[in-house]
Amino acid sequence: MADLHENLQKLRNISHNPKKQLDTYLSDGKQVIGAFPYYTPEVMADAAGIIPMGMWGAQTEFSLAKKYLVPFACPIMQACMELGLQGKYAGVKAVMIPTMCDTLRDVTQDFKTGVKDISTIAYTLPQNRKLAAAKEYLIEELTYVKEQIEKIYGVTITEEAMQKSIAVYNKHNSVMREFAAIANDHLDIITPAVRHSVFKSAWFMSKSEHIAAVEEIINQLKALPVYNFTGHRLILTGITAEPCSLLNILSDNNFAVVGDDVAQEMRQYRTDIPEDTSSLASLAQQWLDRSDPMAHDDHIDRVNLLEKLYKENNADAILVCLMKFCDPEEYEFVAYNSALKEAGIKVLSIDIDQQPNNYDQARTRIETLAELL
Amino acid sequence: MLTLGIDIGSTTSKAAIIENGHKVVAKNIIPVGTGTRGPEEVFKSVLDQLHIKRNDINRIVATGYGRMKFEHADRELSEISCHGKGVRFLIPDVRTIIDIGGQDAKVLQLNDKGLLENFIMNDKCAAGTGRFLDVMASVLDIDINDMGPRSLQADAPVSISSTCTVFAESEVISRLSNGENINNIIAGIHRSVAKKVGGLAIRLGYTDHVAMSGGVARNIGIVKAMEEELKCPIAVHPDCQLAGAIGAALFAYDDLTKK
């Protein structure tokens, strides 16, 4: 059995090099489907024995993508287009793209046009979720996604297999919630970059494999004495909080991450897939149950959620990882930033980009926050 | 007790030596910054002013973008904290500080005890920074030090609408080819900077006691435009450019004397 550090390193390697993981799956004869940010019905692919892999771009220069996207478009989408056009996703037969924002909507057509050897399955998550028709509409959308997966991959997705996969995904949610909680007792080991790697690796592994890996890590952490962390405790929010070179600046300044509302991380795991009349109805209901700032009618609202995370985790500040050129995030920021400050919470924002960056300005901001605290 | 602060910026290197935490006894500015001869030269020059060696200094704190690479420092601190402390030393009643440096602009809020309470920085963009003014001086073919006095002679400042340095440059060229008076263009450029950086102050919130620091504060035209933008007087100390280095030296003193 590998020790704790070896297990963490394994997940770190996978999160740093998803291409290697993709090639491993392909050479093992597995089929792979791409999952664009940030809610896709991965359960369907899992039920068909297909590995869903997250499409989160990479730290890369944008060149070919400029044919399709303006320089001030979402960096994740620019990076995904760039990697797709460079052929880095070779072997992936199809991608699922939810039209959660205007840029994703554009990319459904850009990817379809530019990356011809990968099929695009685009679908919409309804925004007015209080309407009764929302669920009915989403079930139809999910039925379309299921039919497309069956057609492209030549598989049949049965209701029984779907129910089994739903159980796996709910188990994964529970394991990730447990990891997030126990990580706070071991902030000497679970640094911001390590924590991020555990979450990000989930996007590039079958959920059964990831559950096994994280459960082992949890058990190994439980066997250790609780670490008395005396540094600064941070809550993160945003779409992504990466790369590790940026997160290492947090460690350099004695910060630990004790909770997050990051779309790539804990936001995925807060809401289970409920029981319903069918597996598709369950998946639809999960979207209706989610509290998410991208939804028109967010249930909890971000201010309450962030305040709750801040208090429950005894945090010192909230770090907003503002995805560069992300309209929905910038729109939200104004309101929750002032509300949190009124509540007496220190809030710092930094830009997140996917182009190689020296992060000097972010370092100055983070250092100053540490000095302020 | 002697403490030294060095502020290694993107375009200039500044150093100050403070005696017993209250008197500036040596200071200098070298007009080249991080990655150049500037840091070593300014360091040596302030030691030479007092005819002393490194070992005669009790503690050194480095700040500014080049702070991590200065080998003589005992500690590094962000330039935001150092500017806050330095300006407070120079102008004791200050509560809001607008610091415009070579490549960024910051607004700092101090509480009634003079401690840094909040801050805001510009986005990664040259607009509203010293670099923006360098580019404009080059387009106008004038010495950057003449921009302030010349802008005061403007009778009808033009509008430079763009907040992007590249687009503003072509806007200025277009104004020049239309035969606009250069002094009016310079005043328009200063207003453009004031609007950009003043926007940060408005976002953060500011009080009556506003001061400017950093090299750009030496430009009287910018200060005037900022006063108009924020509708309040702005204090500028003659050593405004040294505020970061002075703050660093004061932190070095605190390190040695506060338990």
Q: Does A141 fall in a domain? A: yes
CA distance B151 to chain A (A): 31
Residue A355: count of CB within 10 angstroms of its CB: 13
Full pLDDT tens readout for chain A, 373 residues: 789 999 999 999 999 999 999 999 999 999 999 999 999 999 999 999 999 999 999 988 888 998 999 888 999 999 999 999 999 999 999 999 999 899 999 999 999 999 999 999 999 999 888 888 999 999 999 999 999 999 999 999 999 999 999 999 999 999 999 999 999 999 999 999 999 999 999 999 999 999 999 999 999 999 999 999 999 999 999 999 999 999 999 999 999 999 999 999 999 999 999 999 999 999 999 999 998 888 877 666 889 999 999 999 999 999 999 998 998 898 889 889 889 988 999 999 998 988 767 788 888 899 999 988 8
Q: Which structural domain, as residue segments, surrounds residue B60? A: 1-91+240-259
Instruction: Please write the tens of the pLDDT for every residue from B192-213.
Output: 889 888 888 988 888 879 999 9
What pLDDT, on a 0 to 100 scale, did the predictor assign at position B258? 80
For chain B, report the end-to-end CA distance as a whole number of angstroms: 16
Q: Do A371 and B104 touch (CB under 8 A)?
A: no
User: What's the whole-number average pLDDT of chain B?
Assistant: 90
- pLDDT exceeds 60 at position B259: no
The answer to whether B122 and B107 are in contact (CB under 8 A) is no
Specify whether B60 is located in the same domain as B118.
Answer: no
Specify whether B187 is located in the same domain as B102.
Answer: yes
Q: Does A34 fall in a domain? A: yes
Nearest CA in chain A to B83: A368
**Nearest by CB to B104, which of A351, A361, A371?**
A361
What pLDDT, on a 0 to 100 scale, did the predictor assign at position B162? 62
- pLDDT exceeds 70 at position B124: no
Q: Do A371 and B119 touch (CB under 8 A)?
A: no
Q: How many domains does chain A have?
A: 1
What pLDDT, on a 0 to 100 scale, did the predictor assign at position B163? 66
Q: Does A137 fall in a domain? A: yes
Specify whether B219 is located in the same domain as B232.
Answer: yes
Specify whether B33 is located in the same domain as B159.
Answer: no
Specify whether B66 is located in the same domain as B133.
Answer: no
Instruction: Please write the tens of the pLDDT for every residue from B132-189.
Output: 888 888 888 888 889 999 999 999 888 887 667 777 788 888 888 888 889 999 999 8
Q: Which structural domain, as residue segments, surrounds residue A117? A: 18-157
Q: How many CB pairs under 8 A join A and B?
A: 29
Rounded CA Rg of chain A: 20
Specify whether B9 is located in the same domain as B105.
Answer: no
Put simply, whether A342 touches B (Cβ < 8 Å) is no
Specify whether B66 is located in the same domain as B117.
Answer: no
- pLDDT exceeds 60 at position B3: yes
Which residues sit opposite A235 in a β-bridge?
A: A259, A318
What pLDDT, on a 0 to 100 scale, did the predictor assign at position A44? 97
Put simply, whether A351 touches B (Cβ < 8 Å) is yes
Q: Does A288 fall in a domain? A: no
Specify whether B106 is located in the same domain as B231.
Answer: yes
Indicate which of B68, B108, B124 best probes the interface with A, i.e. most A CBs within 10 Å of its own CB. B124
Looking at beta carbons, which residues of chain B come within 8 Å of A372?
81, 116-119
In which band, very low, low, confident or very high, does the pLDDT at B85 lie, cut at 50, 70 and 90?
very high
Q: Does A57 fall in a domain? A: yes
Specify whether B218 is located in the same domain as B159.
Answer: yes
Specify whether B143 is located in the same domain as B204.
Answer: yes
Instruction: Please write the tens of the pLDDT for every residue from B239-253.
Output: 999 999 999 999 999
**CATH code (residue B204):** 3.30.420.40
Q: Does A267 fall in a domain? A: no
In 3D, which of A298, A318, A292 has the Cα closest to residue A307? A318
Look up residue A370 and give its two tokens: 């540490």
What pLDDT, on a 0 to 100 scale, did the predictor assign at position A158? 97
CA distance B16 to chain A (A): 21
Q: Do A372 and B104 touch (CB under 8 A)?
A: no
SS (H, E, C) chain A: CCCHHHHHHHHHHHHHCHHHHHHHHHHCCCCEEEECCCCCCHHHHHHCCCEEEECCCCCCCCCHHHHCCCCCCCHHHHHHHHHHHCCCCCCCCEEEEECCCHHHHHHHHHHHHHCCCCEEEEECCCCCCCCHHHHHHHHHHHHHHHHHHHHHHCCCCCHHHHHHHHHHHHHHHHHHHHHHHHHCCCCCCCCHHHHHHHHHHHHHCCHHHHHHHHHHHHHHHHCCCCCCCCCEEEEEEECCCCCHHHHHHHHHCCEEEEEEEECCCHHHCCCCCCCCCCHHHHHHHHHHHCCCCCCCCCCCCHHHHHHHHHHHCCCCEEEEEEECCCHHHHHHHHHHHHHHHHCCCCEEEEEECCCCCCCHHHHHHHHHHHHHC
Specify whether B229 is located in the same domain as B105.
Answer: yes
Interface predicted TM-score (ipTM): 0.72
Specify whether B144 is located in the same domain as B255.
Answer: no
Put simply, whether A367 touches B (Cβ < 8 Å) is yes
- pLDDT exceeds 80 at position B123: no
pTM for the model stands at 0.83
Look up residue B155 and give its two tokens: 């009778």
Q: How many domains does chain B have?
A: 2
**CATH code (residue A30):** 3.40.50.11890
